[in-house]
Amino acid sequence: MEQPRWWQHGVLYQIYPRSCMDGDGDGVGDLRGVLSRLEYYHWLGVTALWLSPFYPSPMADFGYDVSNYTDVDPLFGTLDDFDALLAAAHRLNIKIVVDYIPNHTSDQHPWFLAARSSRQHPQRDWYIWRDPAPGGDPPNNWLSVFGGSAWQWDERTSQYFLHSFLKEQPDLNWRNPDVRQAMGEVLRFWLDRGVDGFRVDALARVIKEAALRDDPPNPAYTPGQDPYYQLLPTYSRDLPELQEVIGFLRRIVDEYDDRVVIGEVYLPLPRLIAYYEAGVHLPFNFQLLKVAWQPLIIRQVIDTYEGLLSAQQWPNWVLGNHDVSRIATRVGQDQARVAAMLLLTLRGTPTLYYGDEIGMRDVAIPPALVQDPWEKNVPGRGLGRDPERTPMQWSAERQAGFTSGTPWLPLADDFMEVNVVAQRHDPRSLLTLYRRLLKLRASAPALHNGAYAPVGSTGAAGPAGVDEQVLAYTRTGSGNQFLIVLNFSAALVPFMHAKGHGHICLSTELDREGEEVTGTLTLRANEGIIVQIA
């Protein structure tokens, strides 16, 4: 078998640069800040850092509205700072993955300013313009993810332009060959600088149906839900022609050695396969962000995914990101350790979200301090993403060691206890668990490459309902077998299995290492155990 690539046996860690570390005291994180914390990521044992956007931007969507794809916003530093960060990371054997935002630019990007200047401008067609429907309405019924119509009227040129997100984020027209060419050059710019790969933003939206037909109503929509779900995005997302665009991106990336393409694709598992086939190495699998935190349901998700993937398609798992409520809030603090063990023992590449390793929780943001445009556009529905974007809690010092100024979002109240310094020296902390899991995973090929097989509690002797409380599976490879048993309940559960004899190599409370295990393993409330089978 071919040697696994770094992005197969490694672990990704997402940094949201605004909230990682502020190097210059303005309250916003920056690239020098990240550089100053590299030692921590090295100590933790992650393989690659994915940086959310740091490009010049009016910050209408905090950097996901790019006004220049080949530079660094002064808020985050300079290209020299980026080069220094990349070089320092590589010296520590840490890879750097950057965000690539093909679906839309900022409305302040020179391309859009040109396109908007007149209907005759040669770059007009770089964006998607349409005449109004009879009566002056938008050309079709498409909705913006961030609320309202996906069309914005342009007074000067008397046409609408399309924006899948904010009106400050006009969608590029990927049917135009010049757009492809220019966006291909963006990839080359960063590849030439030495980045190890891209996380491609909003990938499924990059191509829309040419005829721009109305999206059909969603029969399952219930009032009170996110209004975006009123329609099914049949013609505005996940179109067949997208596969060819992905092939184009992948061919450019393949001109360079050993780089990775990761796709942000919020689609059901069977649809991810098309993205693998088109050339995305890792189409993000977001199932753990969505499904109920119940063993039977999660087992079903794992089985479905494992069943869909071919031998060449590499799985991946995500527990958190900058767009969703944090794991410790979603599943509760008691289950945060079980979640960590699950993420880091499943087959496939895990992605960690900054701060989850110390158990950071969503921070309630007072209305006057709300930053996220989504919350501002569609208020009061819990759609805002500020709660999961608060500053990293480094220490119990002033402003959690994040900034000498005033942080752009408020810090969590609990940062005096929940911080890196406090947990780094505590042999039982969540952070220590993450580090131990990462170390074990790195040293045991069975845990990154090994086959996955579900394990049920054995026979009638097992107490009723164990499989509703416990998720268990083996990972087998390179002459080793691990049994992972995760208790999702707050009860003591005896778990009987037929996997034979072994010893505990890690437990979520970090207090059972070395314990011998035979047919029955007794799990404490919310406990997870990794057994090495003899």
Q: What residues make contact with ligand GLC under the rule CB under 6 A?
A: 61, 64, 101, 165, 201-202, 264, 322-323
Q: Which is nearer to ligand GLC, 30 or 65 (CB)?
A: 65
Rounded Cα gap, residues 518 and 508, in angstroms: 19
Q: How many CB atoms within 10 Å of residue 459?
A: 8
Q: How far apart are CA 57 and CA 104, in angstroms?
A: 12
Tokens 């000498």 locate to 404
* Complex with ligand GLC: residue 228 or 394, whichever CB lies closer: 228
Residues 149/142, Cβ–Cβ less than 8 Å = yes
Q: Which is nearer to ligand GLC, 146 or 317 (CB)?
A: 146
Closest approach, Cβ 89 to ligand GLC, in A, equals 22
389 in Cβ contact with 18 (< 8 Å)? yes
**The token pair that represents 256 in the structure block:** 């360079």
Measured from the CB atom, the residue of 61 and 357 that comes closer to ligand GLC is 61
| Nearer of residues 45 and 384 to ligand GLC, judged by Cβ | 384
- Following DSSP, what letter does each residue of 265-329 receive, concatenated? --S-HHHHHHHHHHT-SEE---HHHHS-S-HHHHHHHHHHHHHH--TTPPPEEES--TTS--HHH
Nearest to 372 by CA among 359, 356, 360, 383: 383
Beta carbons of 98 and 39 less than 8 angstroms apart: no
What's the start-to-end Cα distance of the chain, in Å?
25
Residue with smaller CB distance to ligand GLC, 281 or 389: 389
Q: CB 170 → ligand GLC: shortest distance, Å?
A: 12
Active-site residues: which are they? 201, 255
DSSP assignment of 8-66 equals: HHS-EEEE-GGGT--SSSSSS--HHHHHHTHHHHHHHT-SEEEEPP-SS---TTTTSS-
Q: Which of 136, 134, 127 is nearest to 158 (CA)?
A: 136
Nearest distance in Å: CB 508, ligand GLC: 30
Q: Smallest gap, in angstroms, from Cβ of residue 293 to ligand GLC?
A: 22
CA 473 to chain CA centroid, Å, is: 25
Q: CB 101 → ligand GLC: shortest distance, Å?
A: 6
Least distance between ligand GLC and beta carbon 238 (Å) = 14
Q: How far is CA 338 from each of CA 90, 301, 331, 345, 484, rounded to the nearest angstrom?
A: 32, 17, 10, 11, 10
